Structure 1
Amino acid sequence: MKPYKNPNLRSAFKVAWTGIWGAIRQERNFRIHLSAALLVLVAGWLLKITAQDWLWLILAIFSVLIMELVNTAIETVVDLVVGDKYDLQAKKAKDIAAGAVTLTALASAIIGLIIFWPYLENFLH
Structure 2
Amino acid sequence: MKSEAKGLNRLFHASKYSWQGLMAGLKSEAALRQEIAALALLLPVIFWLDISAAERSMLLLSTLLVLIVELLNTAVETVVDRIGDDYHELSGKAKDLASAAVLITLFGAGAIWLMILW
The reply to whether TM is greater than 0.5 is yes
**Root mean square deviation of aligned Cα:** 1.4
**Contact 2:59 2:112 (C-alpha < 8 Å) held by counterparts:** yes
Partner deviation per Cα, 1:30-59 (whole Å, 9 max, x = no partner): 111111222221222333332111110121
Distance 1:6 1:115, change over 3 A: farther
Per the alignment, residue 21 of structure 1 pairs with 23
Aligned residues: 114
Per the alignment, residue 14 of structure 2 pairs with 12
Which residue identity is paired with 1:36? A
Distance across 2 between alignment mates of 1:39 and 1:9: 31
Distance 1:106 1:19, change over 3 A: same
* Percent identity (aligned): 38
**Contact 1:37 1:61 (C-alpha < 8 Å) held by counterparts:** yes
Distance 1:113 1:84, change over 3 A: same
**Contact 1:6 1:12 (C-alpha < 8 Å) held by counterparts:** no
Structure 2: stretches of 5+ with no match in the other structure:
none
Q: Name which one, 1 or 2, has greater alpha-carbon Rg.
A: 1
Per the alignment, residue 122 of structure 1 pairs with none
Per the alignment, residue 121 of structure 1 pairs with none
Structure 1: stretches of 5+ with no match in the other structure:
118-125
- Structure 1 stretches of 4+ with a deviation exceeding 3 A read none
Per the alignment, residue 50 of structure 1 pairs with 52
TM-score under structure 2 length normalisation: 0.88
Distance 1:58 1:44, change over 3 A: closer
